[in-house]
């Protein structure tokens, strides 16, 4: 596929995700971690405008100089920005304005992509695709949060979010032998800088579950008093449970004695044989401790990934998000992409049903703070 085609497809997919929304749904930001959908639409556009069009398309006419302030996410190099908690307070630019902004930038990008572009530009365009695809997943998770925390529980789409049924002959484990393995991205395809620096890693032998933990299995933990049994928890996790009065995974509701969860298709009874979703690292680690097991490290996961099916949940690992050997930040704003977040976050491996296809590879390193639950997270056990 050439760059123009992929550009069009990527941009169209973003807009199709927003198609079922009402204008009002584009605007709100119920918690700091969630961004308004219209912000995602504008920010991904600003990325192409700022890093590609303004430096590389001669005569490019900036759409609105103020948008730089509104749609910068965290790039300190580029200048001041609307602080993250304020995004949901901005009614303007309107949704219509932002779609016009997208058209303006799309036209200019297509003009540029029809010329013979340098390797440097190709690299940035590719980064732009991957950046927008990451925001496509965030659109799903943020829309779910926005609708799922509305007291009216509106549906996004009737047939959205089919769960992953775990086969009944489950609970079997794969075994990996002690040895030296290679970790990190291999080959020529695109990857993020945090996956680079393929290097040797020595692993002890270990076992890893072939299947994800189900809703029903987690309910056993809950019913066994798991949330109030301090011995299974990290001290910070227990504090998080108490401070936020956590009693179940995100989106779970007990209504007249039965368990329901909010899905993009509305409020539904929880299917107990499907893969658990929307738990924090703290809950994942506590569940593993309750089972007398543990979470895998990201290195174990990557080595063992060929032995199981994955791609339905982002899976918490017990690895902190840290640089691989030889990692260096790129100079300039693009270098702010990954390295500056390498503290106090945990690595997730895998992918989810909402992940863009180009983001499913065994070396992919996702990362979130340990208390966050609004991604499609799950648990795979190791021993």
**Interface residues toward a second copy, by CB under 8 A:** 22-30, 38, 66, 69-70, 74, 76-77, 82, 86, 88-95, 146-147, 149-152, 154, 180, 199-202, 204, 230-231, 233-238, 281-282, 285, 289, 294, 318-320, 322-323, 325-326, 329, 335-336, 340-344, 346, 370
**Residue 163 or 296 with smaller CB distance to a second copy:** 296
**234/225 Cα distance (integer angstroms):** 16
Q: Report, in Å, the least distance between residue 336 CB and a second copy.
A: 8
Closest CA to 154 of 145, 163, 166: 145
**Residue 1 or 22 with smaller CB distance to a second copy:** 22
**Residue 60 or 316 with smaller CB distance to a second copy:** 316
Q: Report, in Å, the least distance between residue 306 CB and a second copy.
A: 21
Q: Report, in Å, the least distance between residue 245 CB and a second copy.
A: 13
**Residue 294 or 361 with smaller CB distance to a second copy:** 294
Q: Report, in Å, the least distance between residue 353 CB and a second copy.
A: 23
Q: Report, in Å, the least distance between residue 94 CB and a second copy.
A: 5
Place of tokens 């992409």: 337
**Residue 59 or 292 with smaller CB distance to a second copy:** 292
Residue 208 phi, psi dihedral angles, 5° rounding: -140, 140
Q: Report, in Å, the least distance between residue 111 CB and a second copy.
A: 27
**Residue 165 or 199 with smaller CB distance to a second copy:** 199
Dihedral angle sign, alpha carbons of residues 217, 220, 222, 224? negative
Q: Report, in Å, the least distance between residue 50 CB and a second copy.
A: 17
**Residue 282 or 314 with smaller CB distance to a second copy:** 282
Q: Report, in Å, the least distance between residue 11 CB and a second copy.
A: 22
Q: Are 25 and 37 in contact (CB under 8 A)?
A: yes
**Residue 92 or 268 with smaller CB distance to a second copy:** 92
**Residue 149 or 170 with smaller CB distance to a second copy:** 149
- Bridge partner residues of 349 (DSSP): 315
Q: Report, in Å, the least distance between residue 79 CB and a second copy.
A: 11
To the nearest 10°, report the CA torsion of 297, 303, 304, 307.
160
**193/330 Cα distance (integer angstroms):** 9
């Amino acid at each position: 596929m050439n760059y123009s085609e992929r550009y069009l497809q990527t941009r169209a997919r973003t807009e199709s995700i927003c198609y079922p929304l009402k204008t009002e749904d584009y605007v709100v930001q119920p918690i700091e971690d969630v961004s308004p959908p219209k912000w995602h639409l504008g920010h991904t556009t600003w990325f192409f405008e700022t890093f590609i069009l303004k430096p590389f398309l001669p005569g490019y006419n900036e759409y609105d100089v103020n948008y730089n302030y509104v749609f910068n996410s965290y790039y300190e190099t580029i200048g001041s920005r609307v602080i993250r908690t304020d995004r949901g307070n901005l009614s303007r630019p309107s949704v219509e304005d932002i779609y016009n902004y997208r058209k303006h930038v799309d036209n200019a990008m297509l003009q540029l992509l029809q010329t013979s572009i340098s390797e440097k530009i190709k690299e940035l365009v590719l980064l732009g695709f991957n950046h927008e695809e990451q925001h496509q997943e965030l659109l799903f998770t943020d829309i779910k949060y926005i609708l799922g925390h509305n007291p009216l529980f509106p549906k996004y789409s009737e047939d959205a979010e089919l769960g992953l049924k775990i086969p009944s002959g489950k609970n079997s484990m794969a075994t990996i032998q002690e040895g030296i393995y290679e970790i990190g991205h291999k080959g020529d395809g695109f990857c993020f800088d945090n996956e680079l620096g393929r290097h040797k890693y020595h692993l002890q032998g270990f076992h890893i579950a072939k299947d994800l933990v189900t809703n029903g299995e987690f309910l056993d933990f809950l019913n066994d008093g798991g949330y109030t049994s301090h011995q299974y928890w990290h001290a910070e996790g227990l504090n998080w449970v108490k401070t936020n009065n956590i009693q179940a995974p995100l989106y779970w509701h007990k209504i007249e004695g039965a368990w329901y969860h909010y899905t993009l298709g509305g409020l539904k009874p929880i299917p107990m044989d499907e893969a658990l979703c929307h738990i924090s690292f703290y809950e994942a680690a506590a569940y593993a401790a309750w089972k007398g097991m543990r979470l895998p490290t990201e290195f174990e996961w990557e080595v063992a990934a060929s032995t199981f099916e994955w791609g339905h949940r982002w899976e918490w690992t017990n690895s902190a998000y840290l640089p691989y050997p030889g990692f260096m930040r790129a100079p300039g704003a693009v270098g702010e992409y990954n390295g500056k977040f390498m503290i106090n976050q945990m690595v997730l491996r895998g992918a989810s049903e909402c992940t863009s296809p180009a983001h499913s590879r065994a070396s992919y390193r996702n990362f979130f703070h340990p208390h966050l639950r609004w991604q499609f997270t799950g648990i795979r056990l190791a021993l």
